[in-house]
Amino acid sequence: MSHPEPHAALQALSTQLGPELLLTDDFTRGLYASDDTPRRCMPEGVLFPKTHEQVRDIVAIARQYRVPLVARGAGSGNVGGALPLPGSLVLSFECMNRILDFDPVNRTITVQAGVITQDIDQLARSQGLFYPPDPGSAPYCRIGGNLAMNAAGPKAVKYGVTRDYVLALRAITGTGAEIRTGSRTSKGVVGYDLTRLLVGSEGTLALITEATLRLLPAPNARATLRVCFDSNVHACEAVARVMAGHITPSALEFMDHHAIEAIRATGAASDLPPETRALLMVEADGEASDLPRQIRALEQSLQGPGLLELLEARDPDAITALWTARKSLSGAIKRIAPLKINEDVVVPVTRLAELLAEIERLTRHYELPIVTFGHAGNGNLHVNLMVHPEDKGEMARAREALLQLFKAVLQLGGTLSGEHGIGTEKRDYLPLELDPATLAVMQGIKRQFDPDGILNPGKALPMRS
């Protein structure tokens, strides 16, 4: 394979696109050198295409000069998916932010990849619809990044993840082929499901330029329960009862006592019963007249050993107040240590208590603060190892703890990532979960879509051995 020639590529790109869509100054390159991981790598330049055709031209030139392309939405991912590589170009989708079609009757919306996720939801809501996937970054992340990572959020427990709302894609593969996948209809089985093959592939197979998304009728009311328990075990038993029950909540969030203490240290959540060691936030949505029935059923499931308090809120202000504790968490835990290693593991809901017991063991054994919270209804916990990056001993212990955590998750029938993806951060752990034959099939697909390895190389899959 010939040598990468980033400078020749930059010259060709500047000629092809015009200089205003390509920035190479230090300030801009610095802005695009990192994502929400602590790593940093300066790209050779940053591209801002506005159209599908410009993305196609960029791929052709990148391929000609063997220059890696790192697709980027808002750079809010936390596994290094959008992290530049040495000698790479960042392809930012920020300027591809047009709504191409909005069809409320057929409940579809077609957008360029750089549209902000929350803008899609807001436009849908203007017509009584909504876009269910709700990552925490929705106010600023881009739909292309959500598609690349198969993003999710609290609502996934009832409504599913990004993958479940994608009808059709337009994309450019690593060979420069322009493909269209799926159809705009709500059903379709023509050819292989390339749509879902691209969703979650982290920009390693093709660059998604446009997407047609499915929308749902918006629930017009919601109610929230804040439920305090005396232990992880009792909270997890309640989660399992809820998920075995008739009413699926629209959110079922968990916080462990480390998370509660972090919030208390900020002065928030002063109204929690003092003996609270685990907290659930449970939400139901639907039509206002139907909420009491749902809430009654959820309350019934939540009743059980160790329940300390159950508060209910139906009006928006009261709901906001109940969520305050949960929302203050991200800020609160930064006080514990400067860096959080933010994991995103999943186990079957019946195994949550065992996972939490193992996390407690790890926090003691490795003398590391670990703060755990997340989407308990999906068995999807965010496990945050709080560390000081300059403390080499602590970092070594954290790496060892992570490996133990991942092994425990797999032992419990779980998976290494529920919604954050693999990127660079979990890449080397994949062989713990995927057997060599399955990995080889994935690597074969990568080679087929991107034979020159120019699309986000080294992400999502272990490097080829």
- Interface positions, 278-297, toward its own copies (CB under 8 A): 287, 289-290, 293
When the beta carbons of 173 and 276 are compared against its own copies, the nearer one is 173
Helix H or strand E encompassing 207: strand 206-214
Is 53 near its own copies (CB under 8 A)? no
Of the pair 326, 426, the CB lying nearest its own copies is at 426
Question: Considering the complex, what minimum distance in angstroms separates the CB of residue 39 from its own copies?
Answer: 20
Tracing tokens 């990044």 back to the chain, one arrives at 145
DSSP-assigned states of every residue in 167-185? EEEEEEETT--EEEEE-SS
Q: Residue 400: phi, psi to the nearest 5? A: -65, -40
Under a CB-based contact definition with an 8 Å cutoff, are residues 422 and 79 in contact? yes
Give the Cα separation of 137 and 326 in Å (integer): 15
Size of the residue set binding its own copies (CB under 8 A): 91
CB of 432 to its own copies, least distance (A): 10
Tokens of 124: 């849908």
- We find the least distance from the C-beta atom of residue 138 to its own copies, in angstroms, to be 17
Least Å distance between CB 41 and its own copies? 23
- Of 54, 378, 384, 456, the one binding its own copies (CB under 8 A) is 378
User: Helices in 266-312 by DSSP H: which ranges?
Assistant: 291-302
Tell me if residue 283 falls in helix, strand or coil.
Answer: strand
350 binds its own copies (CB under 8 A): yes
Quote the CA–CA distance of 286 and 157 in Å, as a whole number. 15
Nearer to its own copies, 235 or 368 (CB): 235
**Minimum separation from the CB atom of position 90 to its own copies (A):** 22
Q: Which is nearer to its own copies, 111 or 332 (CB)?
A: 111
Residue 1, classed as helix, strand or coil, is coil
What residues between 146 and 165 interact with its own copies by CB under 8 A? 149-150, 152, 156-157, 160-161, 163-164
Per-residue HEC secondary structure of 96-132 comes to CCCEEEEECCCCEEEEECCCEHHHHHHHHHCCCEECC
End-to-end Cα separation, the chain, in angstroms: 17
Stretch that binds its own copies, among 24-32, 65-73, 238-246, 254-262 (CB under 8 A): 238-246
Tell me 155's DSSP state.
Answer: T
Q: Bridge-partner residues for 281, per DSSP?
A: 226, 253
Residue 403 sits in the site that holds its own copies (CB under 8 A) = no
Q: Give CA–CA dist 346/374, Å, rounded.
A: 10
Verify binding: residue 411, its own copies, rule CB under 8 A: no
Per this entry, what is the length of the chain?
465
Could you say which of 246, 327, 335, 464 contacts its own copies (CB under 8 A)?
246
- Between residue 193 and residue 212, which ones bind its own copies under the rule CB under 8 A? 193-194, 196-197, 199-201, 205
Of 351-370, binders to its own copies (CB under 8 A) are none
CB of 349 to its own copies, least distance (A): 6
Give min distance, CB of 344 to its own copies, in A. Answer: 9
Q: How far apart are CA 261 and CA 45, in angstroms?
A: 44
3-state secondary structure of 185: coil
- Residues 246, 240 contacting (CB under 8 angstroms): no
- Binding to its own copies (CB under 8 A) within 249-278 occurs at none
Q: In the window 90-129, what residues touch its own copies (CB under 8 A)?
A: 103-108, 128
Nearer to its own copies, 41 or 445 (CB): 445
Which residues in 166-195 contact its own copies (CB under 8 A)?
Answer: 173, 177-181, 183-194
Stretch of 82-90, 262-270, 311-319, 442-450 contacting its own copies, by CB under 8 A: 442-450
**Location of structure tokens 């203050």:** 328
> Shortest gap between Cβ of 241 and its own copies (angstroms)?
8
Q: What letter represents residue 343's amino acid?
A: E
Q: Tell me the C-alpha distance between 257 and 131, whole Å.
A: 33
Nearer to its own copies (CB atom), residue 87 or residue 176 = 176
Give the interface segment with its own copies, choosing from 30-38, 317-325, 357-365, 375-383 (CB under 8 A). Answer: 375-383
Q: In what order do the strands lie in the sheet with 99-103?
A: 99-103, 108-112, 206-214, 166-173, 178-182
Q: Is 247 in the site for its own copies (CB under 8 A)?
A: yes
The span of 2-10, 111-119, 130-138, 428-436 binding its own copies (CB under 8 A) equals 428-436
Smallest separation (angstroms) from its own copies to the CB of 10: 27
Query: E strand or H helix at 412, and its extent?
Result: none
- Mask of contacts with its own copies, 23-42, x by CB under 8 A? --------------------
- Residues in Cβ contact with 174 at an 8 Å cutoff, skipping those fewer than 6 apart: 59, 63, 205, 206, 449, 450, 451, 452, 453, 454, 455
Residue number, 191 or 267, with CB nearest to its own copies: 191
